[in-house]
A and B are shown apart, each in its own frame.
Chain A
């Protein structure tokens, strides 16, 4: 009794309105405001960086989709000695065109209009646009036609932005003869030495084939591994070891996978160098651990009551897994696959190790043909001395980002479709 009495005396009633308490409250609110401000600052900073990146990229890159053109008037009837339009229709058109000597016709026409040095104003491969125009519409060989041909790279750079002094002078001389048009070459050509003739199609196709191989190898193996490890494998030291190994694999630097691909696929199996097949296999090795880890988490998240329900009415283990667990885990597995594939799409280092940095001027038509992929193409172009490649590099980055966005959008669409409403 005595002790409780003294306790009550010792402890004064809490003064909620007192100065000390008010100060504590103010401090608490200040801390809250500080934290909010810091968080907001972090978001603004990262959004700023992203916006800066995108603006620079789009600003530079969009120019890569256009080309500077000069008009050339070609008097086909005089030049060809009266070739008929019908010659360039159908299957023989290509062969007849070759004998026609379009290049000389174009060069002569250019020299007539722009003087002896006139050909230097034009991109070396510009005459191919004329060939394409003839095949597209053979009627023009019977008329006198004005065609717009791509200018030489330095003039292109000087016209669109700042170029070398001599090129700027030429631009001033040519004046309003110059114009810009959509650069079809960039979408349908492959790598070239002349920046006016380079295109992204070869790398894009290479990326598509490589991603396809990565997906068909890594997805089933990764998902089955995840299912086996979660649903079948006994929990013992051996499976623990496997789990640790998979987690480590997911963290291994990608260039190591390149070395592995070089040693195993090229040297041991003797697969062709620089092929999409080898690239896909190497990237599959890199992507698989990510799919296994996310797959295991997704499988773990399926409520055990669903497994019990299925087992309770006599479903076999496999029926439980494939009728119930997998469908419910699929959205989560797909999320992991998106992350893994996005990483694989942007990967350069392992592909350099297996020789995918070659100059590929024709798009690959199969999985064992020499190919390159978008990030490697960007890497190669960024290394070029010619200034014309700068905007092409940015344009290629835009294409890569669009590819990535398309892939992710597709995966998110699939994920939402499979998502089960509870």
Chain B
């Protein structure tokens, strides 16, 4: 069975590379991140095959695809979180503002501050709400005085839409919040270090519909302030929150384009099958 899948994917990959849309026309806002011919290997297994995508400032970019298609793996290349897996190897070129992020002189710690990340499961630190937000600015030295830090905490929580709910209990534990609040706390924590890009890895998969709606609303509000890339297996969510959608299948980028086009008029058979629910 595995051999069958491997052989089909490798035989199809040349045509896919041709048909994928690597660049986005001007007028879509300034380019933030570019990726060219990115391959990711876990040991001998190839997880990502020749992916080229541009991330722009003004658009929310969604990665969709069935489970195990490599969308999360690819997302984790954008802030080098894959570095923590010893057997992972990334080739190709990924740039942030024209800088190669895999270049030896790139400081990973700074990169991850500039490219923030929100994870699938809300993972606040077992500390107070205040300390959760203040941790990033503290380690990066972004606040020189207590007032500065208070200010950063307040604006970050406001941007994440959590300020009203927690302003009276900043010293309570972050883990005591509800799941949706925890996830917004994590978004606030990412915002607090003033990133340029925010990566979200299925941020709503552990949340109920009301909390999900709040996060989606928040993504709308944050659009334009930060370049946002969101991985989701919920196609309706991709359609609701994103302006650009990339469809991944078996480690390859099948189709990338304007979200409305992908959902109404996909150019690839596989994309059509997936969004109409024939598999996935």
Which A residues contact B (CB, under 8 angstroms)? Answer: 234-235, 303, 305-316, 319, 323-324, 328, 420-422
Q: Is the CB of B119 within 8 A of A308?
A: yes
- Tell which of B117, B139, B175 touches A312, judged by Cβ atoms closer than 8 Å: B117
Of A309, A313, A316, A420, the most chain B CB neighbours within 10 A belong to: A313
Would B125 and A309 count as touching, CB distance under 8 A? yes
Interchain nearest-CB distance for B119 vs A (Å)? 6
* Known contacts A305-B121, A319-B139, A312 near B126 by CB under 8 Å: no
For residue A327, which residue of chain B has the nearest CB? B126
| Shortest distance between the CB of B160 and any CB in chain A (Å) | 14
Closest to B192 in A: A313
| Contact among B86, B114, B119 with A235 in the assembled complex (CB-CB below 8 Å) | B86
Pick from B114, B139, B190: contact of A315, CB under 8 Å? B139
A290 and B121 CA atoms in complex are apart in Å by 34
B105-131 vs A, CB cutoff 8 Å, 1 = contact: the mask equals 000011111101111010111100000
A234, B119: Cα distance in complex, Å? 25
- Measured between beta carbons, the chain A residues less than 8 angstroms from B69 are none
Among all A-B residue pairs, the 9 with the closest Cβ atoms: A314-B113, A312-B117, A305-B123, A314-B112, A313-B136, A309-B123, A420-B126, A314-B109, A316-B109
Q: Which of chain A's residues have a CB closer than 8 A to the CB of B173?
A: 421
CB neighbours of A235 from chain B (8 A): 86
A312–B120 Cα gap in the complex (Å)?
13
Report Cα–Cα, A303/B192, bound state, in Å: 23
**Residues of B contacting A420 with CB < 8 Å?**
126
B153 to chain A, nearest CB (A): 14
Residue contact A306 to B125, C-beta cutoff 8 Å: yes
New A-B pairs, 20, CB < 8 Å, besides A310-B125, A312-B190, A313-B113: A306-B126, A307-B84, A308-B123, A309-B119, A309-B123, A309-B124, A309-B186, A310-B135, A311-B81, A311-B84, A312-B112, A312-B118, A313-B139, A313-B193, A314-B110, A314-B139, A316-B139, A324-B125, A420-B126, A421-B173
Give the complex CA separation of A311 and B199 in angstroms: 13
Inter-chain CB contacts under 8 Å: number: 71
15 A-B residue pairs with CB within 8 Å: A234-B86, A305-B121, A306-B126, A307-B84, A308-B119, A309-B123, A309-B125, A313-B112, A313-B113, A313-B117, A314-B109, A314-B139, A323-B139, A421-B126, A421-B173
B190 neighbours in A (Cβ, 8 Å): 312-313
In angstroms, Cα B118 to Cα A319, docked, is 19
Q: Counting CB contacts under 8 A, is B240 at the interface?
A: no
Cβ B81 vs Cβ A308 within 8 A: yes
Which residues from B are CB-within-8-Å of A307? 84
Q: In the bound complex, how far is the Cα of B136 from the Cα of A422, in angstroms?
A: 21
CB distance from B149 to the nearest CB of A (A): 15
Chain B contacts of A313 at CB under 8 A?
Answer: 112-113, 116-117, 135-136, 139, 189-190, 192-193
Are B110 and A312 within 8 A (Cβ)? Answer: no
A235 to B192, CA, bound (A): 35
Check: B61 CB closer than 8 A to any chain A CB. Answer: no
> In chain B between 10 and 50, which residues have their CB closer than 8 angstroms to a CB of chain A?
none
Measured in the bound complex, the distance between the Cα atoms of B116 and A310 in whole Å is 11
- In the complex, which residue of chain A has the Cβ closest to the Cβ of B193? A313
Task: State A84–B123 Cα separation when bound (angstroms).
Answer: 78
Q: Is the CB of B81 within 8 A of A312?
A: yes
Q: Which residues of B contact A312 (CB under 8 A)?
A: 79, 81, 112, 116-119, 190
Residues of A within 8 A of B125 (CB): 306, 309-310, 324
The verdict on B225 contacting chain A, using a C-beta distance below 8 Å, is no
Are A314 and B193 also in contact (CB < 8 A) when A235-B86, A309-B125 are? yes
Give the docked Cα–Cα distance between A313 and B189 (Å): 8
Interface residues of B in 184-207 (CB under 8 A from A): 186, 189-190, 192-193
Task: Tell me, rounded to whole Å, the shortest Cβ–Cβ distance linking B90 to chain A.
Answer: 16
Does B140 count as interface, using CB distance less than 8 angstroms? yes
Min C-beta distance of A232 to chain B, whole Å = 11
Q: CA separation between A234 and B193, bound complex, in Å?
A: 30
Q: How far is the CA of A314 from the CA of B214 in the complex (A)?
A: 26
Mask of B131-161 contacts with A, CB within 8 angstroms, 1/0: 0000110011000000000000000000000
- Nearest A residue to B124 by beta-carbon distance? A309
B112 contacts A311, C-beta separation under 8 Å? yes
Closest residue of chain A to B122, judged by CB? A305
Nearest CB of chain B from residue A217's CB, rounded to whole Å:
31
In the complex, chain B residues whose CB is within 8 Å of the CB of A308: 81, 84, 117, 119, 123
* Residue among A309, A312, A316 with the highest chain B CB neighbour number at 10 A: A312
Write out the residue numbers on chain B whose beta carbons fall within 8 Å of the beta carbon of A316: 109, 139
Alpha-carbon distance between A316 and B136 when the two chains are bound, in angstroms: 11
How many Å from the CB of B273 to the closest CB on chain A?
Answer: 33
User: Can you name the residue of chain A whose Cβ is closest to the Cβ of B186?
Assistant: A309
* Distance in angstroms between the alpha carbons of A315 and B117 in the assembled complex: 12
Q: Min CB distance, B176 to chain A, in Å?
A: 8
Chain A contacts of B139 at CB under 8 A? Answer: 313-316, 319, 323
- Complex CA–CA separation, A309 to B182 (angstroms): 12
Q: Give the residues in chain B near A309, CB-CB below 8 Å.
A: 119, 123-125, 186, 189
Bound CA–CA A89/B44 (angstroms): 87
Shortest CB-to-CB span from A194 to chain B, Å, is: 59
Residue of chain B at shortest CB distance from A309: B123
